[in-house]
């Protein structure tokens, strides 16, 4: 059987988008090609041809999810009326993270993050590390230059990211938005 296409075809993109919608609803952990192919009106052979393997499809889905994440980062970083300072940017980021509409993407993110830690050589390789770098870069851009490049500045944005990630995990696990929101806002208020 031939390997994956080197340039994305329209059909590959259509199937990737359909598989992404499936992954947002169902996750990637128990994904099997046959039921997935049936749901997205394809066949396992076509998926293997277009993506090379199940791992290739998973990598493509992770890249697709990361594209959504990077689009948010770009939107926050490039907004003219973007709040200035670490705490205001973190508040805006938390607002987006805590919206019900993003739960599927964030559940997929958590699953992929965890799998990249326990299966570092699989299709998830580097996912967690890349996302940490992405979010830290956004938070660094919110800091004034005189703080950004100091140990304290690095520690501050690491702490903010840790609080947001922890609150997000709690929110996804319990659905208790009031509690998670209160914790995040209390921490950000204490930052000044």
Arch. (CATH architecture) of 10-190: Orthogonal Bundle (1.10)
* Chain-centroid distance, C-alpha 133: 12
Which residues of the chain form beta strands (DSSP E)? Answer: none
How many CA atoms within 13 Å lie on the side-chain side of 59? 15
pLDDT of residue 3: 47
Angle among Cα 102, 160, 152 to the nearest 5 degrees reads 155
CA distance 180 to 72: 21
> What secondary structure does DSSP assign to 59-113, as a single string?
HHHHHHHHHHHHHHHHHHHH-TTPPPSHHHHHHHHHHHHT-GGGHHHHHHHHHHH
pLDDT of residue 82: 62
pLDDT of residue 190: 93
What single-letter DSSP state applies at residue 164? H
pLDDT of residue 8: 63
If you compute the radius of gyration of the chain from its CA atoms, what whole number of angstroms results? 19
Query: Which secondary-structure segment (H or E) carries 177?
Result: helix 177-190
- Overall residue count recorded for the chain in this entry: 192
Contact 124, 116 (CB under 8 A): yes
Long-range contact pairs involving 31-40 (C-beta distance under 8 Å, separation at least 24): 31/58, 33/57, 40/15
pLDDT average per 10 residues of sequence, the chain (192 residues): 58 94 88 92 94 93 87 74 81 91 90 91 90 92 92 97 96 96 96 78
Q: Which two tokens stand for residue 81?
A: 């009326």
């Amino acid at each position: 059987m031939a390997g994956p296409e080197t340039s994305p075809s329209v059909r590959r993109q259509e199937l990737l988008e359909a598989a992404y919608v499936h992954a947002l609803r169902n996750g990637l952990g128990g994904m099997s090609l046959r039921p997935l192919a049936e749901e997205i009106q394809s066949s396992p052979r076509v998926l293997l041809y277009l993506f090379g393997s199940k791992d290739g499809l998973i990598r493509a889905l992770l890249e697709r999810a990361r594209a959504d994440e990077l689009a948010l980062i770009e939107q926050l970083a490039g907004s003219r009326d973007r709040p200035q300072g670490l705490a205001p940017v973190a508040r805006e980021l938390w607002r987006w993270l805590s919206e019900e509409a993003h739960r599927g993407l964030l559940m997929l993110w958590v699953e992929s993050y965890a799998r990249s830690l326990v299966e570092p050589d699989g299709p998830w390789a580097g996912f967690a590390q890349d996302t940490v770098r992405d979010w830290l870069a956004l938070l660094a851009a919110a800091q004034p230059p005189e703080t950004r490049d100091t140990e304290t500045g690095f520690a501050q944005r690491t702490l903010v990211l840790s609080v947001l990630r922890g609150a997000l995990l709690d929110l996804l696990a319990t659905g208790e938005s009031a509690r998670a929101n209160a914790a995040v806002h209390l921490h950000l208020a204490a930052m000044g």
